[in-house]
Amino acid sequence: MSTDRWFIIRGATETPALQKLDKVSRYPPGWAHGDGDAFSADVVKTARRVLTIAASLGLDGTDVFPRRDGGLVASVYTGLDVHDFTVHADGTLEWLHEHDDVEIESQPVTFAELEAKLIELARPQWHSYGYSWQTIMISAVGVSRAPHSLPQAPTERSPASIGIAPSLRPVDPAST
C-alpha cells in the first residue's frame, strides 16, 4: 500500500520529523566525521512515507535518525514505547520495539506489515472516536441520515476521523 492510498491530513507533511528528514537527506558523503554514506532517493522516499503515514494516523511523537551505512530510522514514540522502523540502504525494512529502553522485539518487515504496525500503534488513540465512527458509518450506509450528537459530530475544526473512516457533517434533527 502506498501513501497515495492514504488520506493524508493537512499538516502531516510538515512535522518536525519530516523537516529533519529534509535536512538529513541532504547530508553529503562523509557526513559523520569522514564516514557516512549519502542517502539514496528510495531510502529517503520510504522514510518519508513512514513518517507521513504515522502523522496521518495521529502518531505525532516521531523522529528520524541517519545511519552511517546510508539507511534511515523513523522512530515512533508511544508512552514508554519506542518503535524504530529502519529503512536499510538496500531498501529492506526492520521493526524494533523497545519499552523503557529494553528491547522487546525486532524483526524484518514488509512495507504492508509496517503500515499494519503503524495502524496498530495508532488504534488506541482512536478509541474515543469509536462511537462516532459507528454512527457515521451507519449514517453513510443508511437511506436516511441519522442525526449526530454534537460531541461526536465531525466539524472542519475537529474531524471525527483522520482519514481512516468517512466523516459527515452533523444533520439538523428537524431536517430528517
**Quick one: pLDDT at residue 1?**
41
Whether residues 119 and 136 fall in one domain: no
Tally of structural domains, the chain: 2
Q: What is the average per-residue pLDDT within 74-96?
A: 97
**Quick one: pLDDT at residue 13?**
62
Q: What is the average per-residue pLDDT within 45-60?
A: 92
Mark which of 84, 107, 125 sits at the end of a domain: 125
Tell me which residue range forms the domain holding 110: 3-125
Strand 72-78, strand 93-99: pairing: unpaired
C-alpha 67: how far from chain center: 21
* CA separation for the pair 50, 56 (Å, rounded): 10
**pLDDT tens, residue by residue, 86-104:** 999 999 999 999 999 999 9
**pLDDT tens, residue by residue, 104-145:** 999 999 999 999 999 999 988 775 544 444 444 444 444 444
Q: Which residues pair with 74 in a beta bridge?
A: 64, 85
Whether residues 120 and 151 fall in one domain: no
Whether residues 80 and 138 fall in one domain: no
pTM of the predicted protein model = 0.68
Strand 93-99, strand 102-109: pairing: antiparallel
Has residue 68 got a pLDDT over 70? yes
* Beta-strand runs (E) in the chain: 62-66, 72-78, 81-87, 93-99, 102-109
**pLDDT tens, residue by residue, 21-39:** 999 999 999 999 999 999 9
